[in-house]
Amino acid sequence: MNYRNVAIIAHVDHGKTTLVDGLLRQSHTFRENQQVAERVMDSRPLERERGITILAKNTAIEWHDQRINIVDTPGHADFGGEVERALGMVDACLLLVDAAEGPMPQTRFVLKKALALGLRPILVVNKVDRKDARPGEVTGLTFDLMVELGATDEQLDFPVLFAIAREGKAWREGDAPGEDFTPLFETILSHVPVADGDLAAPFQMQVANLDYSDYLGRVALGRVRRGTARMGDPVVRIGRDGREVRGRLTKVYTHFGLQRVEAEAVTAGDIVAVSGLDDVQIGDTLCHPDRIEALPFAGVDEPTVAVTFSPNTSPFAGLEGKYVTSRHIADRLQRELLTNVALRVEELGGESYRVSGRGELHLGILIEEMRRDGYEFSVSRPEVILKTIDGVLCEPFEKVVADVPLDAMGAVMESLSARRAQLVDMEQGETHARLTFSIPARGLFGYRNGFLSMTAGEGLLSHVFDGYEPHVGELRTRQNGSLVAMEPGEAFAYSIWKLQERGTFFIDPGIDVYVGMILGANSRGGDLDVNVCKNKKLTNVRASGSDDNIMLVPPRRLTLEEAMEYIADDELLEVTPKSLRLRKRILDPNNRKKEAKRTAEAAV
């Protein structure tokens, strides 16, 4: 069978997974009466909730007796470790670009990776039914981007299709709008080369991903580079450290639709799954014993942001979580390292672990998955990873693209300039402007909420890692202090009502609080200790003004990422399966004052 291996790459929310849905349906992969959910490739609960692809996944369809292996890749640069491995298994890429938004920061990121690997792109301009669509201009902008990224003449000779993925329609540039995806299927078969590989040579493949089965143990996924493998064949596993371990394949699988299909044999060019190797890891090479040769592992970009994981030490520790000790946390992080190759874990003193990732979202997804698994722990404020390059201290910079209404343009530019951002480009339309900035990565911590307020919820903010630049010095991203509990007990509506003018609360009345717990954001700089556990005294005396109605402002609900961005260096995020609480590192207010005094004296 001839195999075509193609990856679908795009910016977040440009329609990748919706396009895969249409390809699966129109290739008759599903039964006519089969009930299939939308965005069927986003199979994990977190992916469906957030509407993003987190893990690269592969599927296979058949069109006119030709097998097409499709890899759906994440659109967010924080999951670049998934993108880099997925692109190594394919021979071409389907680049999806929104007909209105055009190329965005993550488009640049994934396209740069694809072009560097020599993949030939097929451009699909999606959502051409939008009122503000500009497909011709977007095609030109994408061509300019490819030239800027160093595409070869062969890569620049790419076919262009227009599509409405939601309706399952695609057509070639210059043709009348189509009724289905037939032009897209035909373009894939004509433009994507048939996967090569010497069938007569001894078996060889590289592990690009891992899965787990209760019956089979670890399942290794990857593309067969040469030869054929059958159930029971002996293999040699070559680790990334060069160590060789002999084993035997117990099962071999190919893919069709969303199913993993057991096969008699898997051959060169196909993307397959094999089992029987207990300690197999991503990047390992599997070879036939007659010809042992290791394949080079594709490099993964280094992490740029780190947080510290440690056991929860608050007065509420152990009340909601199932796994609460440092040993539990360490075991879970080690398991994550098996499949999350872009993650780094370093053991610190005092039962703490420094966890480094590609960005706040990368680390936030890990934290959310751990809390859903029953883990309870605390997390420090994210900090950027500094490097010394040619004797100069450097920090990570981000390229930021902000689409904002014209009346909010001045406020956004002023706020980002205060965070040491430099304006790189500006495009002004009739109602909106697109501003491109270069900014230190730490300058974006805690910025998104303020950005949404400035733009009345209409702004779009996208950013991607843009390299290391010289350190810009001290940068203050948070202007306000915190409202901190000074008494333990139940929070009363009366006390919160009396304190509403002092700031914005994060809590509801009726919840239990402890000393040192952060209850909200102070309206001024500096922390303020408050008592929310004092209720109104009940007497039989009535007077004018003493029985006012208690009108509470709804509390501000922080998401996990917002809570990570909010906390300061002397604060922690307490994560449990049921709650997200903010707290001071030092709970006792008197001890906090002593520590602040010692720090000030040491600075002098």
**pLDDT tens per residue, range 298-311:** 667 788 899 999 99
Reply yes or no on whether the pLDDT at 33 is more than 50: no
Read off the pLDDT band of 47 (50, 70, 90). low
Q: CA separation (Å) from 1 to 20, 65, 266, 271?
A: 22, 8, 11, 13
Q: Is the pLDDT of residue 546 over 60?
A: no
Half-sphere exposure of 477 (CA within 13 A, CB side): 25
pLDDT at 38 over 80: no
pLDDT at 547: 57
Residue 127: phi and psi, rounded to 5, are 60, 45
At residue 78, does pLDDT exceed 70? no
With beta carbons less than 8 A apart as the criterion, state whether 40 and 72 touch. Answer: no
pLDDT (average), residues 438-452: 84
pLDDT at 52 over 80: no
Predicted confidence (pLDDT) at residue 322 exceeds the cutoff of 60: yes
CB atoms within 10 A of CB 367: 22
In the chain, the percentage of residues whose pLDDT exceeds 90 is 33
Q: Based on C-alpha coordinates, what's the Rg of the chain?
A: 27
Is a pLDDT exceeding 80 seen at residue 32?
A: no
Residue 51 confidence (pLDDT): 62
pLDDT at 35: 47
Q: What is the pLDDT of residues 384-408, one digit of tens each?
A: 999 998 899 999 998 888 888 888 8
Residue pLDDT, tens place only, 341-379:
788 999 987 789 999 988 888 898 899 999 999 999 999
Instruction: Give yes or no for a contact between 227 and 202, defined as CB atoms under 8 angstroms apart.
Output: yes
Average pLDDT over residues 60-71: 86
Q: Return contacts of 585-589, CB within 8 angstroms, 24+ apart.
A: 586/516, 587/314, 587/315, 587/514, 587/515, 587/516, 587/517, 588/515, 588/516, 589/484, 589/486, 589/515, 589/516, 589/529
Beta carbons within 8 Å of 469's beta carbon, 6+ residues apart = 394, 395, 397, 438, 440
Q: Is the pTM of this model over 0.75?
A: yes
CA 6, distance to chain mean position in Å, is 22
Question: Residue 499 pLDDT more than 80?
Answer: yes
Q: Is residue 31 pLDDT above 70, yes or no?
A: no
* Better-scored residue on pLDDT, 238 or 340: 238
CB atoms within 10 A of CB 97: 27
pLDDT at 312: 93
Span 66-75, mean pLDDT?
Answer: 82
Please, what sign has the CA dihedral across residues 519, 525, 530, 535?
negative
Which residues, at least 6 apart from 431, have a Cβ–Cβ distance to it below 8 Å?
405, 406
* Averaged pLDDT of the chain: 85
Residue 551, pLDDT score: 83
